[in-house]
Structure formats: C-alpha cells, structure tokens
Amino acid sequence: MSGFLVLDTKPFHYSLGFIAYFVSSIGFSTGFLGTFRTSIDGPRFPLAWFLLITSLILNIILIITLSAERYVTSRSQCIYKRVLLFPVVWTGLWFLVGRFGPLGDYPSLSTVLIIWSDFSQVASLGGRSLLDFIVAVSGTIIFEFSSFPMQALFISDSPSVLLANSEVHEEYTADEPNTSTSRKRQCISLLVHPITIYSIILTLVFTYGGLYVNVRPNSLYQVTYPEYIPKTVPVGCVVGPGDTYPELQADHDVWFKKSAELVGDGAKLVIWSEITTVVENLEEEEIFIQRARDFALLHKVYLGVTYSLSGPVKKNKFVLVTKSGDIGIDYNKAHPVPGVVKSAGPNTLQYIDTEEFGRVGGAICFDFNFADFIGQASTHKVDVMLQPSWTWGPIGTYHQQGNILRPVENGFTLFRCVSQGVSGIFEPTLNGVFNQKVASNNVEKYVFYLPIQKRLVTLYAYIGDLFGYICLIASVVLLISTYRDSRRLHQLSI
C-alpha cells in the first residue's frame, strides 16, 4: 500500500474546545477593556468584570461550533463536511448576533480585516457574513492542507493515489495496466478537492476586490480625470463636546457660531456630531429648532443638528433642515447603545431629495452597526448617508472601521461627523479617491469635500443578508445529513 496515506480526521477533544473557549474569551474581553471609559479622570478599565461575562457569553458561539464540528467529523469522513461545517455554523451564529442581538455587528471578529480593501470589498456581494465565512473557511482549509498528501500535488507516473473524498476513495496499485486512466482520475480528484476550489474562489475574490477598488466607474482605459472624476462640494462637521464639557452642551450659541464659521469656509452642508447640545423640554426644543431653521434659511445651507431631548421622554435626535428652512429629517435614534437611558425611535430610515447632493439619508452612530437597518438605504436608493456620532474611550477608530462597511454593502457615500472618533468622507470603495478622514476630538470643526455622485449598485443591495441565512440553512442540512447517514450505517451494522 505504498503511496496511500490515510487522513487523520479524529476530531478535537472537548477539553481542547473549552481551552480555546476560555482563551478566546479572555482575549476578546482584553481587547475591549476600555470600552466604558467615558472620562479620562475615571478608572482605566471600568466594568472589566462585565466585559469578561459578555465575552464568555458571546464565545459560546465557539463552543457550539466546535461541538457541531466534533459531531460531524466523528460520524462522517466526507471532506466537504469537514471543511464547510465550521464556517457555515460560525458564520450563521455571528449573523444571528448581528441581526437580532442588542450589539449589532459591533463585536464581530472580522472588523479588523475591513481595512484590507481588496479583500473586504467582497462585502458588496454578500455583506459581513461573506467576510466571516471566508475567514473561517480559510482556517479549515489550512487545517485540511496540513493533512493533504504532498505527492497528490504532483501528477507523476506513480499510479498510487489518494482521492480527495475518503468516502469514495479508490486505491490504484502498480499492477493496474492502464496508468493513464489512473493519472486522469488523480487529476480529477485534485480539481474537485476543496483546497483547489478554495484557491479558485479566493483568486476570484481578490480579482473582484482589486478591480473594484482600483478602477472607478467610467475610468477604463486611461481616461482623463475631468471625464470621470465628479465635482465636490465643501461640507462642514461641528464636533461637539460629548459629555466632557456639560456647560458647553447647554450653550447653543457656541455651536451655531461654529456652524457660521464653516459656512464662511464655503460649506453647503453642516452637521453636528451626536448630542452636541441638549434641550430640556418640548418648548425649548421648539425654540431651538426654529433657530436652526432661521440659520439654514439665512445662510442658504443644509444644517443637521443633533441634540439630547431631556423630557418628557428622553431622546437622541438628529434634525436636518433644508436651505429653504424646512425640516427634511426629524429622526430619533433607532438603536440606542444598550444601557443608555434613551427611548428608541422607529426602525425606519428617513431621507430627503436634494438638488445638490441627490437623495440624502441620516442615522446616528450605533445605528450603523445594524446592517439590516442601514440596508434600507439600498431599498430607497440613497446616494449620501449622514452619520453624526459620538464615541468614547479607545473605541473611536474601531467603531469607524466597522461602520465603513455599510457604504461598501449599499453603495452610498458616507459623511461621518464624530466626537472622539474618526470623521470624514467614505466612499463605497474602501480606498476611493475621495476618502477623507481625521481623528476628531471634542469642540472642533472640519471642512471635507463631498463628491457629487450617485450610489453604486451592489449585489448586496438586492439580496441583503441572504448569505447569512444560507449559512444557517446549510448548517442544519449538514447536521441532519450526518445524523441520517450515521443512523443508516448503524442499522446496516446490526
């Protein structure tokens, strides 16, 4: 039986799974230790115990996934089940967390890879779930490759061969007269092997991503800039104080003055970061909004003000006033951060049509961690999304990395204005020529240049989170198939 190598498909022992669970949980909680540090004068790692408990709960996904994998690999020798089971279960469970959990996709482990533009651009096809799947299947393929017979990578005169699927393998001996037939079968086995298929898919992913992020629409081949680069319009970002300077929050004059300065710099649209100011009640809110309408009408600009309404019901609001002084968007944050005492607004994305910018929508900060909610921008064909935001502690850059996946998925241009985070312009392509960003602290103002361009059409805009549901269904199908095959073999052995 020279040349015949049996793959070791023995599954991990449960003890190794629990070790992986605790290591992952500790690493996860360590990465988010500063999440609740809202003040530089307070403790450096507040609520560390809560983050550890949250990590232990979230990483149950790992235990479930490894348990499912152990079940399948202990009852089936099918190489495709070995390769696909972990990725589909992992992706499906993380999809459920992002779709129905209170944190959205904020804790997703694929966020750190979004800055890899050629790879992450594939989210325009299948969203974050497709990124999660590719990352997970890369791991199982590497594990499979470690057990792959090296002699199978070379087509030689030796007729001894191990076919890819050990359930249907055939052993060819040196006595077989037709060695050419043996080599043909060996070639076929290599072509259908998961490693080969994975290599082809990964090549397509990077080819698609590379073309997408390096070739702008209408720019092929060597077209001059004026033929495909759109015009830009100056827009302004007023960065509020967060909760660091409560006395400034109550002073509306400061923020209208900064808005006027941005108008003087040429801004045609000005938005304020999240909770730049506060109003105490409905009467004060009415006076405040009227002042915003007068400002917009006087300066002939679009003004987006964000504020906290203290009563009678606490709200986190964003109101966009048009240059004619009309209220275009009157929005209450649909997804308040868990633990923050604010009433949630309707789960409906608001938008208006403008002469200068096309169709403009808006949502606040944490709303962008919910792909299904922001996906309404595709349904309504929104060209530009406005995102006033406020982050704290060390999470500003991380939060921006996750949020810029929404333009990739839905094809719109994103204008972020953030206190203690990353403000700027983000295109549907991750390294777009108009991408602008700045680390924005408290009580600042910035001018950016918004490209006047229509939204890009993406596959994700049509199918939404279909890939996540497909992974869930595939998980169930693989488990049921394994159970039925196991029962059949058991009955045959009796």
The pLDDT value given to residue 185:
57
Which of 233, 265, 458, 267 shows the shortest CA–CA distance to 357?
Answer: 233
pLDDT at 361 over 80: yes
pLDDT at 494 over 70: no
Model confidence band, residue 42 (pLDDT cutoffs 50, 70, 90): confident
Q: Are 369 and 104 contacting, i.e. CB atoms less than 8 angstroms apart? A: yes
pLDDT at 89 over 60: yes
pTM tops 0.85, yes or no: yes
- CATH number of the domain located at residue range(s) 231-455 in this protein: 3.60.110.10
Task: Give the pLDDT mean for 405-430.
Answer: 97
Model confidence band, residue 44 (pLDDT cutoffs 50, 70, 90): confident
- Cα 454 to Cα 477: distance, rounded to the nearest angstrom: 41
How would you list the strands of the sheet with 421-426, edge to edge?
A: 350-354, 358-362, 384-390, 413-419, 421-426, 436-440
Q: What residues contact residue 178 under an 8 Å CB cut-off, 6+ apart?
A: none
CA within 13 Å, CB half, 87 = 23
pLDDT digits (tens, 9 = 90+) for 277-299: 999 999 999 999 999 999 999 99
Q: Are 292 and 319 contacting, i.e. CB atoms less than 8 angstroms apart? A: yes
| Maximum Cα–Cα distance across the chain | 95
The pLDDT value given to residue 167:
41
The pLDDT value given to residue 8:
42
- Please write down the HEC assignment for all residues of 395-422: CHHHHHHHHCHHHHHHCCEEEEEEECEE
Range with the poorest average pLDDT among 6-20, 149-163, 169-183, 320-334: 149-163
pLDDT digits (tens, 9 = 90+) for 339-354: 887 899 999 999 999 9
Q: Which residue type does 395 have?
A: I
Q: 246 vs 330, which has greater pLDDT?
A: 330
Angle between helices 79-100 and 60-73 (to 10 degrees): 160
Chain region(s) in the chain for CATH 3.60.110.10: 231-455
Respond yes or no on whether the N-terminal peptide bond of residue 228 is cis (omega within 30° of 0). Answer: no
CA within 13 Å, CB half, 291 = 15
The pLDDT value given to residue 260:
98
The pLDDT value given to residue 242:
77
Rounded-to-10 torsion of CA 184, 188, 190, 195? 170
Task: Give the pLDDT mean for 466-480.
Answer: 96
CA within 13 Å, CB half, 206 = 6
Task: Give the pLDDT mean for 260-287.
Answer: 97
Model confidence band, residue 180 (pLDDT cutoffs 50, 70, 90): low
Task: Give the pLDDT mean for 117-146.
Answer: 92
Q: Are 440 and 421 contacting, i.e. CB atoms less than 8 angstroms apart? A: yes
Phi/psi-derived region of residue 268, left when phi > 0, alpha when psi is between -120 and 50, beta in every other case: alpha
Q: Are 95 and 434 contacting, i.e. CB atoms less than 8 angstroms apart? A: no
Model confidence band, residue 179 (pLDDT cutoffs 50, 70, 90): low
Q: 159 vs 454, which has greater pLDDT?
A: 454
Buried b / exposed e across 439-458, counting CB within 10 Å, b at 16+?
A: ebebbebbebebbebebbeb
Buried b / exposed e across 362-388, counting CB within 10 Å, b at 16+?
A: bbbbbbbbbbebbbbbbeebbbbbbbb
Please give the C-alpha separations between residue 9 and each of 79, 161, 252, in angstroms, as whole numbers.
Answer: 9, 18, 67
- Cα 274 to Cα 474: distance, rounded to the nearest angstrom: 41
Sign of CA pseudo-dihedral 277, 278, 284, 286: positive
